[in-house]
Structure 1
């Protein structure tokens, strides 16, 4: 449970640093005199490098364990977060934003760590909860960063100085969390990877057996279907995190703090929505097996696409807020449902599969970013097109199938985990 709580706190802080600048972009845009196309390039840069980082970080977790990987991620990732304030031009800001995007790979470490720590009957709920509470950082930062900015302004700093100093706060928090993660977590329930490789022959054999699984995972079309599916839910969430504040600021003529508070409602649904998706995935798995998890994932993704198209048509502020919240629920439930499927694709390469699917989220955000940099396309029109794409991608859930042997193995594992739970709960 220490790994559970520290992994979501770490992901929360990475998300906070990753999108800390997003609600302040209206100030940055005015100071650096950015065009819509340049803002679009910055949005793309914030998620582009994460595609590569997520592919690499899953492999790294398999090699050195999630504990050391997360420690490095938090401490090294804090550097560009704090130093983005040194930017004085579009080009330098773009480079720092690109570097910050690497910390988005923290998601893969979070999912890897909970996948190896929890039993099959609850792994979907555990994965969804740590990711959901971590993603909550994307909503909280929309609300809190404008307040931190306002605090520095109240202390006498100019707007051009205040946003720079505000970004130091999430960076310092990430460094502190990295130290705690190193001291208080282990790689596996049995202990740390390095110690287990030396003391447990069975664990070493299992580790060696997993080496060929990397290529197998790359050849599995289900992995790439989930890559696209996750792009259609998490990719959409990243996109909304990047544009929501500036969207409400421009289209509804709201001030920075109000726009940030409303935009933050989107991310706040992560308190329970993503966990709900994972929980429902576990319940569907109990009743209908692995195919039940997949059916649930596809259905929620389809509803997400419909809700996004409805949200894009709203011109009255109350209706825009209401439909955004409904849309947000489906986005985050789809993410949780997706990662209730991921741990069952390839047990020997959980890190690789998690990394590839996680990278799909950022690849989706990159593709969506091109919609929002076009000068002749409004944000509302871009959101409508995005909704159509999401609805179409939901059909790819039909590709994610499991053999009878896989279903049988999952059923046996589930039965064993339920029996273990019953024994723990029974009186001595």
Structure 2
């Protein structure tokens, strides 16, 4: 596959590279939307979103997205930490290191200093807490900006874009397997979007005041009993499963409990729900960056959910805003593709040469099981929800209308057999 193009469309085993798809929206809609509609009807459908979705919403809402740039710790051996972070990022094909790579390396160094009972350990503890505080402040500021700008804009508002995006995947027949949403983001955009869309979320947390994390393997679901009918519960529509693979802003660890703190969307950093010491309590830093750490609680359960949802026959995974820069996630996706009936749909905003997705596919192969929509046009959230993502609710009505027209016969014969209009004159 040739990657040296800004826009790449790979559908049904055929690749096209349009130079200006915005000039041929109707043509590409006729090709892409029906294909996605068919793919989304798979028995098992999962959605993996990364930071690209939050960035796209922030731009629509006029907010500042999280930069994810490296930070300054101001401690000894900081150069070594940055060097280790850069090597780690390069090994995963991400290029330059970001703040997650830095924090992972800094936490590894801190553990070593503690083993040695080194005097620098306390300085690194304070520095890591300070960097985490700044990072959390930036994520909360992005949430606040999105919340304030839900209804900004004249063409497509952030609220409408998020609801339309989610409902394109979540509007499945209740008899089908539930949509399972996975995200690597620490923010609560998916939860807020579910609230705005009227979706009910099922996750591993149980409780009302301080929901606690449970490791149960039970597939919890929601049902209802129709009026006048007993003993025949039916699946409730608008239910999704949500798994946050890298933790969340409101997750707190208080040994041995992992629970959710009542932290409002876009809260001020001084809110009581934001702890003073983030390092040992807030479950957001990239503990899942290494296989050894992935085996630790609660990430083992989260990644088991990920692999169990993907690695089964007739499974489809759609990615949006995910850069294929996490080996531990890429490996599960590659394992999924070894099952012939599975399919991967990768939608990404970016420019040539699309090196991360190219690197992943060169290792995983299976191009016949992959759909690609790459480039600034196809990856643009507004273009995506307006022109290319299917609308299941409309599809159902369209099918009914077509069936009704078929039963009535050709439109022209219907018109010719219609009775003549009554005369407005007095008559002869």
Q: Considering the TM-score relative to the shorter chain, is it more than 0.5?
A: no
| TM-score normalised by length of structure 1 | 0.22
- Structure possessing the higher relative contact order (Cα contacts under 8 Å, 6 or more residues apart): 1
Larger radius of gyration: 2
Q: When you count helix as a share of all residues, which structure comes out higher? A: 1
| TM-score normalised by length of structure 2 | 0.22
